[in-house]
Amino acid sequence: MLTIYFAGAISGGRADVAHYRRVVDALAEDGHRVLAGAVASEGVTAHGEPLDPGAIFTRDLGWIEEADVLVAEVSVPSTGVGYEIAAARHRFGIPVVALWRAGPTKRCSAMVAGDAGVELIEYDDAAEMLARLRAKLAKYVADEQGLRACQTSTPA
């Protein structure tokens, strides 16, 4: 199974925290190791964790580096989530799957939707989104050299 870093808004707003918790729980129930920190904690407000920002930065970048895949819920705009996506893609070279639904914003950020290296799942229904997310994650396997897309071959 995969180690997944789950990113979602904290300072940008906590309206989706119950949704984050359901996604994190579903991935964990599938056997994945999910690094979510405070994002899925219903006790954390938009004021964030009672930790030094430098400690949060160091911890979260360490978790991103440890992850096989970053899954980011981007429906609620968040500077931090954008930073995490960029770090995953350009600093650590790990795949990113972004989840977006209309509601908090009229469109997904062009910096996410326009990045061909980000797999974007646009959705209205959470159950359908989870099915699509599971299908995307299934194509990845973790091995000692890092993450690679599963290769399927057809007999000749």
Question: Among 59-63, 101-105, 117-121, where is mean pLDDT lowest?
Answer: 101-105
- 154 occurs within a structural domain: no
Asked if pLDDT for residue 155 goes beyond 80, the answer is no
Supply the pLDDT for residue 128: 95
Are 72 and 97 in contact by the 8 Å Cβ rule? The answer is yes
- 79 occurs within a structural domain: yes
How many domains does the chain fold into?
A: 1
As a whole-number percent, the residues of the chain with pLDDT over 90 amount to 62
- CATH for 35: 3.40.50.450
Supply the pLDDT for residue 3: 95
- 54 occurs within a structural domain: yes
- 45 occurs within a structural domain: yes
Supply the pLDDT for residue 119: 96
Supply the pLDDT for residue 41: 63
Scored b (16 or more CB within 10 A) or e, 40-76 reads bbeebeeeebeeeeeebeeebbebbeebbbbbbbbbb
The DSSP letter of residue 94 is -
- 95 occurs within a structural domain: yes
Kindly report the pTM of this predicted structure. Answer: 0.86
Between residues 150 and 68, the one the model is more confident about = 68
Long-range contacts of 107-111 (CB under 8 A, 24+ apart): 108/74, 109/74, 109/77, 109/82, 111/82
- 17 occurs within a structural domain: yes
- 156 occurs within a structural domain: no
Question: Among 29-38, 40-49, 78-87, 106-115, where is mean pLDDT lowest?
Answer: 40-49
Expressed as residue numbers, the domain containing 17 is 3-149
